[in-house]
Homo-oligomer: A and B are copies of this chain.
Amino acid sequence: MCTDKSDKPREECGIAGIWGAPEASNLVYLMLYGLQHRGQEGCGIVSWDSGTFHSIRGRGLVADVFDQHNLVELKGAAAIGHVRYSTTGSSALKNAQPLAVEYCRGNLAVSHNGNLVNAEEIRHELEAYGSIFQTTIDTEVLIHLIARSTKKNFLDAVVSSLEKIKGAYSLLLMTNDEMIAVRDPQGFRPLALGKLKDAYVVASETCAFDLIGAEYIRDVEPGEMVVVDKNGLRSLRFAPAVEQQALCVFENIYFSRPDSLIFGTSCWKARQSLGRILAQETKVEADVVIPVPDSGVCAAIGFSQESGIPFDMGLIRNHYVGRTFIEPSQSIRDFGVKLKFNIVKDIVAGKRVIVVDDSLVRGTTSRKIVKMIRQAGAKEIHMRLSSPPVAYPCFYGMDFPTRQELIAATHSLEEIATYLRVDSVAYLSLEGMLAAMPDQKQNFCQACFTGNYPVDFQKRAAKSGMCVSTKEIEGDRITNL
């Protein structure tokens, strides 16, 4: 992959499931198509076929892993699926989801979106008692906890296991008897509940429902466990409602598709408001507003409408990219970004240009885009970001680089402008961001902007081998900036 991976935050997954419909796996396949933007490195479906589980998982896109020959093997009237983003190293096939095991209680399959912050501690403890793990996925601890539970009743075993795990998780569990949708008490990740005729469907985003013609009912609530079986739907709580929820605000800023309802409200509306408020806060004289496609489009339109400066598509994105691989040994300058974006010269030549993007992580790609615009003859370039500065890593499922690599953690605004070689750069304020959210009663996790982590944890940092705790990171903030 020759494009700069690290210039966008990346979330781990999307999940989808259905209980009680003929050709369930076909429907989950379509829903995964709609969730493909949440993970392109792998995907899988496990179907329930009157007591037998069928499973297909693989690396790559939904269209690469499934075809009409193997989909027919996924028989049955219930299925859960998963699309996955993964960091290098753990991309092995065995780490593909949904996880599925056959154990003392029969079959169990699990799809997980999020990140458990105490998975390693639990794993070490379970292994000390003789459990053998099959993968390196944090989700597997939940399965072993359930297998080890002495509770007779399966739902009791699930509840007691959920009580032991901490962090972000939207889950789908499937057994021979039911499908269970779970959302962590803070509600980090979204999880929507819908209906298709007599069947219940669950998915990370409602755009998956639109594709199959399912109707959105409501979100699974934080701390709620929705059980779907032959008797219909029941709602259980495995944890009381927390005072302060911690919905991931980046779902509205970047992750989700604008045509989805996220946490029950319109993602498009949130994103366009982010652009409008950004224009109010950071307006500058200019001739044209252009987005960095696709993620900057909504905010750029909002910016244009609020500011009255014309909108145009000055950057063309090549959608065939994404699976490119070669890095020509000869020096084609800024090769990676050119493969992904091309500039429409007539739009920017001789113009004062406002470039709207959703966020700035490392800044390396933005710098190259700016250079292209400059070479195409722009007179001025003003970078506008529809989110506050990202200055802290996320431990709840987003794949940000380490704090040292986050440009907003180590550089002042002036330094960032110099680095990007723009005439000005400006971020949306924290207040502005929250004001743009459609439902002002919702509480969002702001850890990546503020360093205040809603769920404590102690974790061995993957690469450094160092132990990192929330406390240390908060201290780090004081000394480093």
Residues of A within 8 A of B (CB): 22-23, 26-27, 29-30, 33-34, 36-37, 61-63, 67-68, 71, 101-104, 127-134, 143-144, 147-149, 207, 210-213, 257-259, 266, 268-269, 297-298, 301, 305, 310-313, 316, 318-321, 323-326, 328-330, 332-333, 338-339, 342-347
Q: Which residue of B lies closest to A257 (CB)?
A: B316
Q: Which residue of B131, B211, B297, B311 contacts A342 across the interface (Cβ within 8 Å)?
A: B211
A269 with B63: CB separation less than 8 A: no
Q: Which residue of B27, B102, B305 contacts A133 across the interface (Cβ within 8 Å)?
A: B102
Question: Cβ of A319: which chain B residues have Cβ within 8 Å of it?
Answer: 319
Across the A-B interface, the 5 shortest Cβ-Cβ residue pairs: A130-B148, A104-B127, A319-B319, A130-B147, A36-B320
Known: A103-B132, A211-B338. 4 other contacts (CB 8 A): A37-B320, A102-B133, A132-B134, A268-B344
Question: Cβ of A134: which chain B residues have Cβ within 8 Å of it?
Answer: 101, 132, 134
B63 with A207: CB separation less than 8 A: no
C-alpha spacing A226/B310, complex, angstroms: 42
C-alpha spacing A343/B128, complex, angstroms: 51
Question: Cβ of A321: which chain B residues have Cβ within 8 Å of it?
Answer: 33
Question: Cβ of A259: which chain B residues have Cβ within 8 Å of it?
Answer: 316, 342-345
Question: Cβ of A326: which chain B residues have Cβ within 8 Å of it?
Answer: 26, 29, 68, 71
Question: Cβ of A213: which chain B residues have Cβ within 8 Å of it?
Answer: 332-333, 338
Q: Which residue of B103, B211, B310 contacts A305 across the interface (Cβ within 8 Å)?
A: B310
Q: Which residue of B lies closest to A211 (CB)?
A: B338
Question: Cβ of A33: which chain B residues have Cβ within 8 Å of it?
Answer: 318, 320-321, 324, 339
C-alpha spacing A102/B140, complex, angstroms: 14
A36 with B318: CB separation less than 8 A: yes
B133 with A103: CB separation less than 8 A: yes
Question: Cβ of A328: which chain B residues have Cβ within 8 Å of it?
Answer: 23, 26-27, 30
Question: Cβ of A318: which chain B residues have Cβ within 8 Å of it?
Answer: 33-34, 36
C-alpha spacing A218/B67, complex, angstroms: 45
- Please name 18 pairs of A and B residues whose Cβ atoms are closer than 8 Å in the assembled complex, sorted by A: A23-B330, A26-B328, A30-B328, A34-B318, A37-B320, A63-B324, A68-B325, A102-B133, A103-B127, A130-B131, A213-B338, A258-B313, A258-B316, A259-B344, A259-B345, A266-B345, A301-B312, A311-B311
Question: Cβ of A103: which chain B residues have Cβ within 8 Å of it?
Answer: 127, 130-133
B63 with A320: CB separation less than 8 A: yes
C-alpha spacing A129/B37, complex, angstroms: 40
Question: Cβ of A132: which chain B residues have Cβ within 8 Å of it?
Answer: 101, 103, 131-132, 134, 143-144, 147
Question: Cβ of A345: which chain B residues have Cβ within 8 Å of it?
Answer: 259, 266
A280 to chain B, nearest CB (A): 18
B268 with A347: CB separation less than 8 A: yes
